[in-house]
Structure 1
Amino acid sequence: MDAENLSKLVIDALEGLKAQDIVTIDVADRTSVTDFMILATGTSSRHVQAVADNVAEKSKEAGVMPLGSEGRGNSDWVLIDLGDVIVHVMTSQAREHYDLERLWSEPRVAQ
């Protein structure tokens, strides 16, 4: 499955369990590790876990086995590595603290 279709599958899985503030960042030109990072917010640690489990389950059903995951259990941040797509599901507090959108955004050129 190509990266764009995998991203769509992930977004559908996130939306299926009511993840909030879903953002896709194209990082293909900034890293060789992955093509897309998808960030989503869960309302609690339990919701973060349920959303991440749904992403892993839906990707497996589509024939894409996760290469790994971090943050399982009672965590405020779960990462799922699907190769061409890396998924971050976080509580709003963790997302605000780590601010991955800012870290991976395009650099601004001074004018």
Structure 2
Amino acid sequence: MQTEELKVLVVKALEDMKARDIEVIDVRGKTSITDIMVVASGTSDRHVKALAETVAFQAKQAGETPLGMEGLSEGEWALVDLNSLVVHLMLPKVRDFYQLERLWKEPSLAHRQERPAP
């Protein structure tokens, strides 16, 4: 399955499960870990867990078996690793604390041009 198709599948699964504040971040060129990160919020620890399980199930049904899943026992933050796409699902307070969107949207230091001293 192509990365873009997987992204559409994941976002639709999250929308169907009423995830909040779904954000898609293209991290190609910023990390070799993955190409796309999807970040979304759940309303409770049970909701976060259900979101992760649904994403994993939908991906597997489409032929993309998750490489791993983390955080399902706690439910405050769950991660689903789909290789070219990583899904982070969090409670709003956890998401506010870690601010992954800000971290990955900011230009990387390697791409910033230094200004010469005056």
TM-score of the alignment, normalized to the shorter chain, above 0.5: yes
Partner residue in 1 for 2:101: 101
Partner residue in 2 for 1:28: 28
The alignment yields a C-alpha RMSD, in angstroms, of 1.6
TM-score normalised according to structure 1 size: 0.94
Larger radius of gyration: 2
Q: Which runs of 5+ in 1 are unaligned?
A: none
Deviations 1:83-102 (A, max 9, x none): 00000000000000010011
Preserved contact between residue 37 and residue 86 of structure 1 (Cα < 8 Å): yes
Check if 1:6 corresponds to 2:6: yes
> What letter corresponds to residue 58 of structure 2 in structure 1?
K
SS in 2 for 1:80: strand
Equivalences for 1:1-111 in 2 at 5 Å?
1-107=1-107
**Which runs of structure 1 show a deviation greater than 4 angstroms over 4 or more consecutive aligned residues?**
108-111
Distance (whole Å) between structure 2 residues aligned to residue 69 and residue 52 of structure 1:
8
Distance (whole Å) between structure 2 residues aligned to residue 104 and residue 74 of structure 1:
24
Distance (whole Å) between structure 1 residues aligned to residue 106 and residue 29 of structure 2:
10
> What letter corresponds to residue 102 of structure 2 in structure 1?
R
> What letter corresponds to residue 19 of structure 1 in structure 2?
A
Equivalent residues, number:
111
Q: Which runs of 5+ in 2 are unaligned?
A: none
Preserved contact between residue 77 and residue 94 of structure 1 (Cα < 8 Å): yes
Deviations 1:40-94 (A, max 9, x none): 0000100000111100000000000000011012320000000000000000000
Q: Percent identity?
A: 50
